[in-house]
Structure 1
Amino acid sequence: MDAPRWSATVRGALADALTLLLPVECAGCGAEDIALCATCEAALAPAVVHGRVPGTDLALASALRFEGIPARVMRALKEEGRTSIARALGPALRAAVESVAHDATVFAPMPTSRAAFRRRGYRVPELLALRAGLPIRRCLRLARATADQRGLDVEGRRRNVRGSLVAAGVRGLPVIVLDDVVTTGASLEDAVRALRAEGAHVVAAVALAATPRRYGASARDGTGGLGASETAR
């Protein structure tokens, strides 16, 4: 195991240990002395929705609505370092993958910025993939820094991330892109561009959760557009 991955594994294990040693509250509702109560865990049951990655013809599957309990649980994972709750989210991601998966597919997680990795000590899409039992390949990387997406409109976000990703080692391979939360569309669109430019056959994109505004139409007829991912993963 290389040093950076070993370090991330140790940090994740320490975070899980601290969760057991220190007083905790439910990540979904705040109930005391439990990391995730039964009611909130039940709210993480997948309801897979199919749509399209904006700006492409590519299918996008999402397992949860990014609101209410799922949103609070995701924020606890991403912003509070509560890595142990990724175990409860893994099955939902796997359900979304199974709705689009092909045999012998390469699973490509969206890359994490250096700043986000320094802040957290782990890569959220990769951690979720691990808990979903999905073997990943780091074939996407950030080629340049991007500005904070918050406060930008849809077109501004697309301009901000356009050309920010590059791919390697996937020529001729079937690839599914993995992400944690889908919002407006820009980063996933750029990931698809980068993978196709490298000669990959991009099968689909899969996200654990999508914002409600990108969720509704496709839940009814499978043709609606789910948006794109956050860039500062």
Structure 2
Amino acid sequence: MERTAARLAGFLQELVLPVDCAGCGAAGPALCRDCRARLAPRVTLRTVDRLPVTSALAYRGVVQPVLVAFKNEGRTGLAPPLAEALRAAVEAAVAGVDGDGLLLVPMPRTRRSAVERGYDPVRLLLCRARLPHVDALRLVRRPGDQVRLGRDARFANVERGTAARMRLDGRRVLLVDDVVTTGATLTEAARAVRAAGGAPVGAATVASTPLR
């Protein structure tokens, strides 16, 4: 409840009070000109367990604090450039795929996270980017916090935790998320799509953490 109140306060503050730039902290607009320029899409491709993942931005520099502010601090005013980035990633991901009948499927979220935030970041960006999507996946168990887990632990944490809400027989699916780190969540989502008869053709994300 306290976290929800804090995020509501963030919404209201952004509406009525001056805020610092989410990228560099400089006094002025919510996103200064220089930081906004650094959010210009630079699409990259990586592979996660044979799944091609297209991302518009590298999760470093100003991208990281801007995404954190958007996701966790209620600063939904940052959505436009992030939505542009997501749209660029989706367009690049489907460039070589017949778009007829293709489903854009965002990652499932816990009900608690949506209630605490007051919005779902990925679905908000999809809406702002005017990208129709289908909530075809659900969580069948709540995973633990992934932040401090290593690669293998992340995969184990989400294993068998996702299922389809419907049959996806013969449907091609592009998975959508905000950030890809190890790819554990996308790998599990792709498994759930296949289990429901669908064919994951890839994934699109706003950002990707640099590979180490």
Fold in common (TM above 0.5): yes
Pairing 1:168–2:158 present: no
Could you say if the C-alpha distance between residues 21 and 212 of structure 1 is closer, same or farther in structure 2, counting changes exceeding 3 Å?
A: same
Q: CA deviation at 1:174?
A: 1.4
- CA distance in 1 between counterparts of 2:199 and 2:9 reads 38
- Which residue pairs with 1:194 in the alignment? 192
Extract unaligned runs of 5+ from structure 2. 1-6
Could you say if the C-alpha distance between residues 171 and 13 of structure 1 is closer, same or farther in structure 2, counting changes exceeding 3 Å?
A: farther
- CA distance in 1 between counterparts of 2:199 and 2:36 reads 35
Pairing 1:66–2:59 present: yes
Note if contact 1:181-1:210 (Cα within 8 Å) is conserved in structure 2.
yes
- CA distance in 2 between counterparts of 1:150 and 1:41 reads 26
- Which residue pairs with 1:138 in the alignment? 135
- CA distance in 2 between counterparts of 1:17 and 1:136 reads 29
Q: CA deviation at 1:171?
A: 2.2
C-alpha RMSD of the superposition: 1.9
- Which residue pairs with 1:185 in the alignment? 183
- Which residue pairs with 2:117 in the alignment? 120
Q: CA deviation at 1:123?
A: 0.9
Q: CA deviation at 1:111?
A: 1.3
- CA distance in 2 between counterparts of 1:136 and 1:18 reads 31
- Which residue pairs with 1:42 in the alignment? 37
Pairing 1:212–2:210 present: yes
Please list the CA deviations of residues 85-131 of structure 1 after superposition, one character each: whole Å capped at 9, or x if unmatched: 11111111111111121413211000112232122111111111112
Q: CA deviation at 1:157?
A: 1.1
- Which residue pairs with 1:99 in the alignment? 92
- Which residue pairs with 1:80 in the alignment? 73
Work out which of the residue numbers 19, 36, 39 in structure 2 matches 1:24: 19
Q: CA deviation at 1:175?
A: 0.9
Note if contact 1:108-1:138 (Cα within 8 Å) is conserved in structure 2.
yes
Larger CA deviation: 13-22 vs 27-36: 13-22
- Which residue pairs with 2:4 in the alignment? none
Q: Quick one: which amino acid aligns to residue 49 of structure 1?
A: T
User: Comparing both structures, which one devotes a greater share of its residues to strand?
Assistant: 2
Secondary structure (helix, strand or coil) at the match of 1:103 reads coil
Secondary structure (helix, strand or coil) at the match of 1:67 reads coil
Work out which of the residue numbers 158, 178, 189 in structure 1 matches 2:155: 158
- CA distance in 1 between counterparts of 2:156 and 2:210 reads 23
Note if contact 1:26-1:36 (Cα within 8 Å) is conserved in structure 2.
yes
Note if contact 2:8-2:74 (Cα within 8 Å) is conserved in structure 1.
no
Could you say if the C-alpha distance between residues 184 and 168 of structure 1 is closer, same or farther in structure 2, counting changes exceeding 3 Å?
A: same
Extract unaligned runs of 5+ from structure 1. 1-11, 215-233
- CA distance in 2 between counterparts of 1:13 and 1:204 reads 35
- CA distance in 1 between counterparts of 2:148 and 2:67 reads 21
Q: CA deviation at 1:23?
A: 2.1
